[in-house]
Amino acid sequence: MPKPQTAASHAATDTITHFVLGPVFMINFAVAIVVAVRAPHHLALHLWLIVISVALLLMAAKMRIYSLRVQDRLIRLEERLRIAALAPTADVNRLSIPQLIALRFASDGELPPLVARTLAENLDPKTIKSSIQSWRPDYARI
């Protein structure tokens, strides 16, 4: 069972990307540059290795960004459907994506008044999250 989530502990960290792939690709890039400077007799090969190192860094970053964008789109869809079911009079189209993402942590009972307050006061995501009394955890966040 995962540890209980709260507003203070809900942020997910992609451990593999942040603590393994990122540093390995950065070290690979640095080594490629050092080798190119110290061994200029194979400069074309070393420049190619630098290009590949940059491509690996960009690929890792792009994979992370794509997964987060897809997840945000799914959260947006899920929360629009949830708000339509629990607060049918709310104008869900006026909510921003960050607001919808923050509202996903509100329990079903808290959601309708929190949506109304968010629309009336244009609350930022941090304020929305701090207003939640009964936290609805999201253990599937990437």
Domain ranges of the chain: 13-71, 87-137
Q: For residue range 35-47, list pLDDT tens digits in order.
A: 999 988 889 999 9
CA distance 140 to 142: 6
Strands (E), 61-107: none
Question: What is the arithmetic mean of pLDDT over 53-68?
Answer: 91
State percent of the chain over pLDDT 70.
Answer: 89
22 pLDDT more than 80: yes
Question: What is the arithmetic mean of pLDDT over 66-94?
Answer: 94
